[in-house]
Amino acid sequence: MRRAIAAAMSRSNREIPHYYLGTEIDLTMALQWLAAANSKRPVTERILPAALLVRCVALAAREVPEMNGFWMEGAFRPSSSVHPGVAISLRDGGLVAPALHDADKKGLEEVMRDLRDLVTRARAGTLRSSEMSDPTLTVTNLGDQGVETVFGVIFPPQVALVGFGKVVERPRVRKGAVVSAATVTATLAADHRVSDGHRGGLFLAAIDRLAQKPEAL
C-alpha cells in the first residue's frame, strides 16, 4: 500500500501544478443545529460534523464544476456525478479514499449512513472496486488528529482536494461585539491547468455559505 501511495503522490507532485487556498469557516450555527437534531436521535444515528462538511463540498462542486472531474489525455474531463473520495486511515497503517457516491443528491442523514458504512467496510477490507476507482475529488479531515490546517496532495487524475482541520474556538466580531465562535480551517489544493484562484475562491466561499444553513442540507 505504501508503494502504491508513493507512486500516486510522486506522480501528483511531478505532473500537477498545485495551487493552495484556505479560509476559516464559522461552524457555530451548524454545530448548534447538529446538537439539537442529534438530541432526538439514538447515539448510533447521530450526524457527525464530518458528514455535514462532505455534503457541503459535494454541493459546492456542483456550483464550481472545475473542481469535480479528471485531467486525462491532456484535457480536463468534468464529471456529471459528484463522488467525493473520503480519506480513511486504516488501523494497520495506510490510507484509502473510497467514493461516497452521489453525495450531492443525498440528504444529510443518508450521507452520514454512507460515510459510516464506508469507514466500516474500508477497515474490514470489503470495499467495492467501483468505490476505489471513481472518486471525482477528495475530502480529507484531520481534525481528530489535532491538525488545524491541511495542505493536501491531489490524487491523480482528480483535480482537487479539500482538507479540514479541527474545530477551534476563535474570537469573531458580530454586530460590533467580540464573541467566541467554533471555526474550522478549510483548504483547497487544486490543479492550475483546470482552474485558477478566482474559481477556487468561489468554491471555498460556496462551502462556507452552505455550512451557514445546515437545515437546508
pLDDT tens across 7-23, in order?
989 999 999 999 999 99
For residue 26, indicate whether it is catalytic. Answer: no
User: What's the pLDDT at 92?
Assistant: 78
d(CA 33, CA 24) in angstroms, rounded, equals 19
CATH number of 2-216: 3.30.559.10
Q: Are 89 and 95 in contact (CB under 8 A)?
A: yes
Considering 83, 144, 191, 196, which one is annotated as catalytic?
Answer: 196
**Mean pLDDT (whole number) for 153-160:** 96
Q: Is 209 exposed, middle or buried (0-12, 13-18, 19+ CB in 10 A)?
A: middle
To the query of whether residue 196 is one of the catalytic residues in this protein, the response is yes
Report the predicted TM-score, pTM, of the whole model to 2 decimal places: 0.94
pLDDT in tens, 94-107: 889 999 999 999 99
Where are the chain's structural domains?
A: 2-216
Is the distance from CB of 158 to CB of 85 less than 8 angstroms? yes
The active-site residue, picked from 18, 192, 198, 208, is 192
pLDDT, residue 91, reads 80
Q: What is the mean pLDDT of residues 125-137?
A: 93
Task: Give the model confidence (pLDDT) of 62-81 as tens digits.
Answer: 999 999 999 999 999 999 99
- Quick one: which H or E segment has residue 179? strand 177-191
71: left (phi over 0), alpha (psi -120 to 50) or beta: beta
Which segments of 39-106 does DSSP mark as H helices, in order?
49-63
Kindly indicate the confidence band of residue 4, based on its pLDDT and cuts at 50, 70 and 90. confident
Nearest to 172 by CA among 29, 20, 22: 29
C-alpha cell read off for 157: 487524475
